Amino acid sequence: MRIPTSLCLGAALALAVTAASAEELTAFYVPWEKPALASLKAHVNDIDVFAPFWGSLVAPSGKIVWEEDPEAHLVLREATRRPKVMPMLSNAHDDIWDVKAAEAVILNPTAAAAFAQGLIDHAKADNLAGVVMDFENLTPRAVAGYPAFLKTLRQRLNAAGLEVWVTSTITNTDGLPPDLADDVDAVVLMAYDQCWATSHPGPIAADAWLKANLTAKLGSRDPKRYVVALASYAYDWPQGGKATVVSAAKARQIAAANHAKVVHVPGSNPHFTYQAGAVRHDVWWVGGADVARQRAMLAPMGVRGVALWRMGLEDAAVWSAKVEAPASVQAAPLGQAASCEPLRP
């Protein structure tokens, strides 16, 4: 569930898991949702890295527009343990992915330098620790130039005491080069959307799917260069149609209101069906126990950190779930751990 598939589409996972480790805990955040602000207020002191959707590249010159977000800034100022702040910076604005602006910044050294300097200046003014790059829908030319662009950006920002992270799907379905870890300080692997809004209903991130794809993605690479972003949201699919993103709490409310039986399959995600008039709905979500279990599964793999996608949608149990690491999770062969089938037009 990425922002945006049209611009609409953590946290301190204070999870007392048996296999807990000292990874960084990152929370992704969007400023236009009130539940996200409520979650930030409740859990800001537990977060190691706060990654708000604040920055947008808006012009081929490298111009960046920053979300002011006074409410979140107030929460950060009043925090007793202020997290590092690393905003997401994308090429999304005004309900589009600005492909031309991204290509210009990636391929034009003058625009790239202006972009980097703008980042550095804003980071100093706003007490930022770095940036999470999220350029999407890139042209083939931009994709080819992306690694070199990131490497140069990292050199410039590191010299100013800042880090550069970059987002990438765990399944290599984003069209980006499969390995960017040598070009940045960390790659954030979006480890969800096994089934997605325009696919057939199914799990958002089952354990075997996650392990198979993460194992393939890491290979022999240094796991400390990766942050694994875990899901904590729900999809509500009307039969034959596109799913709506809802919070985990909303999913539970729908189940209760419809007296639906929630199915729990070990190693998968909870789900149920209900009728809305003549239309059948399938709802799947990732609950707190799922996040805790998957975090415990990740601990021995030695990744740099885990992240929650995203604040405001999470199951409240994310903050208190207690589970032991699975005795063993057999990574399904990639052919069997594939994502769901897309809906047919």
> Could you report the per-residue pLDDT of 193-231, keeping only the tens digit for each?
999 999 999 999 999 999 999 999 998 899 999 999 999
Polymer length in residues for the chain: 345
Q: Please give the domain boundaries of the chain with CATH numbers for all domains.
A: 24-232+286-319 (3.20.20.80)
**4 band by pLDDT with thresholds 50, 70 and 90:** very low
DSSP string, 235-277: EEEETTSPPEEE-HHHHHHHHHHTTPPPB--TTS--EEEEEET
- The residues, ordered by sequence, that sit 6+ positions from 103 with a Cβ below 8 Å of its Cβ are 60, 138, 139, 141, 142
pLDDT given for residue 291 in this prediction: 94
132, pLDDT greater than 90: yes
Task: Report the half-sphere exposure of 312 (CA within 13 A, side-chain side).
Answer: 15
111 or 327, greater pLDDT:
111
Reported as a single tens digit per residue, the pLDDT across 152-175 is: 999 999 999 999 999 999 998 888
% the chain with pLDDT above 70: 88
Residue 343 has pLDDT above 90, yes or no: no
In Å, the largest CA–CA distance within the chain is 60
As a whole number of angstroms, the distance between CA 276 and CA 83 comes to 43
Torsion 262-265-267-272 (CA) sign: negative
Instruction: Tell which residue, 127, 120, 179, 126, has the closest CA to residue 153.
Output: 120
Q: pLDDT tens for residues 281-293?
A: 999 999 999 999 9
Q: Poorest-confidence range of 26-30, 185-189, 203-207, 323-327?
A: 323-327
